[in-house]
Structure 1
Amino acid sequence: MAGVQTRIDLNADAGESLGLWKLGHDSALMEHVTSVNVACGFHASDPVTMRESVRTAAATDTAIGAHPGLPDLVGFGRRRMALRPDEAAQIVLYQVGALQATAAAEGAEVVHVKPHGALYGMALTDDAITTAITEAVLRLDPDLMLFWLAGPTADLARSLGAKVAREGFADLDYDDDARIIVEPAPLAKDPAKVAQQAVDLLEGHVTSTSGKHLDVEVDTICLHGDRPNAPDICAAIVARFDELGVERVPALQLL
């Protein structure tokens, strides 16, 4: 099939359990994805869960990223909050630092940052938030990569000097402006349809909910670990990639 990228990062969210309350499919997904975004305690997770996620990622040779969210455990970080750009940046630094300490103690390393949920969505519509978060991460460690939605947000972060992986979403719908439509509570989806959207992204496009063709160039493709049938979705994506001879590699290897 002409025009398909031959190398791509496949990322998934992880570490989203909290104490005895379990969510997600970390071990199953980390057998196949190449990058993982670990919750850092604000929207989900706790210190022990973070440690276990880091250990699983290290054991499966999965690149570790921080997944900082809004301080809203009840809403799972998917409800917007009124934050100044500097406040948004500081909560990101706080959470990234916690995961960096956890990883360092396990002999591992945090290599990227991907804001979670509503915080990610707020950045997509507010360049000041994108700028504040990106510049804060650059001050912390200019080698840290940022995952931002492919399009204007990723372009802005790159213009600030950051290493950016342009992200596409296999299991989320897009609106006509090429922005993702976040689901408050992800439901099961047809693995074959999700896998087809992942292939579409490899080809450089995606279709909006209204049927509009959108040109999108991505370096990493996300699937959500808290979707009930996430392992089946992951298996379907991997099978399609394998059929096409697409190599899955961590995002850092693509820049």
Structure 2
Amino acid sequence: MTTIDLNCDLGEGFGAWSMGEDDRLLEVVTSANVACGFHAGDPQIMLATCRRAAELGVAIGAHVAYPDLRGFGRRPVPTTPDELFADVVYQLGALRAAATAAGTRVGYVKPHGALYNVAVRDAAQADAVAGAVAAVDPNLAVLALPGSELLRAASDHDLLPVAETYADRAFQPDGTLVPRAQPGSVLHDVDEIAERVVRIATEGRVTAIDGSEIELEARSVCVHGDTPGAVMIAAQVRHALAAAGVELKPFA
């Protein structure tokens, strides 16, 4: 039976400010990318998210980012590889402590926003991220786009590289994500999203924004928690995958 993971960015509130419907999403997804305090999240939110994930049997990943609370981690921050190494170690350590206190563990790392986009193509930044992960726990997996510098770096550091795709984002002909600033970069039709994810899981193919067909194999599918209608999207994707005979289970 074909299996696939369904991941989502969660724990992205801060203090009295909340983001998304974490409790409802945790009932649908199989893996949670938990913010570690640099782009969002705080100690209480991290711990609460880990506790709820543990209750529901959802795998936990560290959603590490550049230090950019004001910009929600979506702005590139000039940083040296040594600085980035230390930042990732710090964030991963914080979430591992929260997970341990919640009776669970961190199984993987997935960069957020600008750091994700940079590490996908920049070898030095990718190596800093993967090196930090390996230094903290060589048994962790790294989640990123297929063919990316980040997955290559994960392999170089003897970490498990896991390719992912996005349920609600459009793709360019080369397989990269369409930048958010461009029209059509985020998809909103629930049925269209679900059908596309089923095709990725069962055929390993997807239609790019220009209408061309591209190969795209992934072990995990991401639904953005801050996308309007995220719960409905995630639920419909899960339902469609199950109806197609695809089993949903965490990779970590």
Distance 1:45-1:72 versus aligned 2 partners, 3 A rule: same
Gap runs ≥5 in structure 1: none
Aligned pairs for 1:99-178 within 5 A = 99-153=95-149, 154-178=151-175
Query: If the length of structure 1 is used for normalisation, what is the TM-score?
Result: 0.92
Task: State the SS of the aligned residue for 2:73.
Answer: coil
Question: What pairs with 1:59-98 in structure 2 (closer than 5 Å)?
Answer: 59-98=55-94
**1:13 aligned residue:** 9
Give the aligned residue type for 2:69.
Answer: L
Q: Letter of the 2:65 partner, please give it.
A: G
* 1:251 partner SS: coil
CA distance in 2, matches of 1:101, 1:157: 23
Measure the CA separation in 2 of the matches of 1:181 and 1:80.
Answer: 17
Is the 2:219–2:251 Cα contact (8 Å) retained in structure 1? yes
Deviation at 1:157, TM superposition (A): 2.4
The equivalent residue for 1:190 is 189
Equivalent-residue separation in structure 2 for 1:180 and 1:87 (angstroms): 27
Helix, strand or coil at the partner of 1:192: helix
CA contact (8 A) 1:117 1:182 kept: no
Question: SS of the residue aligned with 1:81?
Answer: coil
Give the letter for the 1:74 counterpart.
Answer: R
Distance (Å, rounded) in 1 between the aligned partners of 2:217 and 2:82: 29
Match of 2:198 in 1: 199
CA contact under 8 A between 2:65 and 2:114: conserved in structure 1? yes
Root-mean-square deviation (CA, aligned residues, Å) is 1.8
CA deviation string 1:97-126 (max 9, x = no partner): 101111112221111110000000001120
Residues 182 and 44 of structure 1: CA distance in aligned 2, closer, same or farther (over 3 Å): farther
- Structure 2 distance, partners of 1:14, 1:181, is 22
Distance 1:201 1:176, change over 3 A: same
Task: Give distance in 2, aligned partners of 1:86 and 1:181.
Answer: 30
Q: Answer yes or no: is the 8 Å Cα contact 1:188–1:227 preserved in 2.
A: no
* 2:57 is the counterpart of 1:58: no
**Per-residue deviation, residues 147-200 of structure 1 (Å, max 9, x unmatched):** 01112332442243211111111111112221123537x977111121122112
Q: CA deviation at 1:9?
A: 0.7
**Aligned letter for 1:212?**
S
Stretches (4+) displaced over 4 A: none
Structure 2 CA distance for aligned equivalents of residues 156 and 70 of structure 1: 18
Instruction: Check conservation: 1:151, 1:216, Cα contact below 8 A.
Output: no
Distance (whole Å) between structure 2 residues aligned to residue 76 and residue 156 of structure 1: 25
Normalised by the size of structure 2, how large is the TM-score?
0.93
* Aligned counterparts of 2:76 and 2:109: Cα–Cα separation in 1: 19
Distance 1:85 1:221 in 2: 28
Question: Structure 1 212/155 Cα, relative in aligned 2: closer, same or farther at 3 Å?
Answer: farther
Q: 1:28 to 1:182 in 2, by over 3 A?
A: farther
